[in-house]
Chain A
Amino acid sequence: MNQRTKALLHENNQAETQLSPAAQQVLTDIVVYLRTAPISMYRQETVRRDITRMLLDGEARGDDAKAVIGDDYQAFCDSVIAELPPLSGRARVLTALRDVLPAAVVLLVIWLVGRLAEYAAGIAAWPALTVTVGDVIGGVLLLAVASAAVTMICRTAFSTRKRVSALLFVLLFAGLFAALCAGFFLKQPLLTVHFGTALIVPLALFAVYKLLDAKLD
């Protein structure tokens, strides 16, 4: 995120500590719900600042979060989201890309370490690394499941936690199982790359992530 958003985020984190634990929990649910809304991070933090101050002001006069915000937090969030300018299509795509890149980098590094382990065990040849169909499908599946899990957590911020946790567990387990199956059964080679080239890819993706992160919001 850019400097302006970073400064506001820091300010909000500081202000939030002044709230009671109960109000902090409400604010956390609200912020989590807003995170997947199609609005910029800066707008999200602006709203977070407003709500934090509303809650602090309320607590100063003895009102709890329900008295300040109302009974239906989700309806409140939806009303707020409706009044904020939505991100453009381009910004949404770039934001989604920015959000998925760190996970992609981690997956690629894990994959590289795995190939190095295979080389050390004498299974794979050096320095050529074979990318299989299963590697690609498994990686894409893991990224999709991770994104779906984050979206699910955010969109159900106000739901009963036990039910959400159970659904989340099923989603993550099914995704991991499918990815492992893809890696195990789909061994057809897709392409062969030099280790040096393979090492550049996560570095390049990380650079793109940093670039997007600095530009967006």
Chain B
Amino acid sequence: MQNTKERGAAGVIPSQMLKGTLEGCILAVLSCAPTYGYEITEQLAQYGFGPIAEGTIYPLLLRLEKNGLAQAEYRASEVGPKRKYYALTDKGRAELQNFLASYRELTAAVDRLLTDTGGIAP
């Protein structure tokens, strides 16, 4: 994750931590409506992911496209050139469900661990 700024401990998601989840988060964004790279970074920023350059998610979008999880098409834009819109495929929706299940399992496990070890007040 090259372009996500490391913002320290105060409400910041370190790049390495984000790395494993960003693809699933993009799937979640795409599940709402087809959209383009910059709009995805904007939505992620609104959810508190911090500033993410479009160049960070472009390779992930290529991967989603390559794996048949998303399909892309160019659409006219009101300003500037045509934009590449990505839409979730059925395979992508199934993958999003897998991600959700894995993510919930992971967060529950981390929560349990941190609670037991005193990291989180019960």
- Interface size counted on chain B using CB atoms at 8 A: 21
Residues 1 to 58 of chain B near chain A (Cβ within 8 Å) = 2-3, 37-38, 53-56, 58
Q: Which residues of B contact A (CB under 8 A)?
A: 2-3, 37-38, 53-56, 58-60, 62-63, 66, 77, 79-84
The answer to whether A53 and B3 have CB atoms under 8 Å apart is no
Given contacts A53-B84, A57-B80, A85-B66, 14 further A-B contacts (CB under 8 A): A52-B81, A53-B82, A54-B38, A54-B55, A57-B81, A61-B79, A68-B53, A69-B54, A70-B3, A70-B53, A80-B62, A82-B59, A83-B62, A84-B66
Give bound CA distance, A50 to B85, whole Å: 11
Residues of A contacting B: mostly:
helix
Please judge, given known A-B contacts A70-B3, A72-B2, A72-B3, whether A15 and B81 are in contact too, CB under 8 Å: yes
Residues 108 to 135 of chain A near chain B (Cβ within 8 Å) = none
The answer to whether B59 and A83 have CB atoms under 8 Å apart is yes
> Which residues in A have their C-beta under 8 angstroms from that of B77?
57
Residues 33 to 73 of chain A near chain B (Cβ within 8 Å) = 50-54, 56-61, 67-72
Nearest A residue to B64 via CB reads A83
Tell me the smallest distance from the CB of A158 to a CB of chain B, in Å.
13
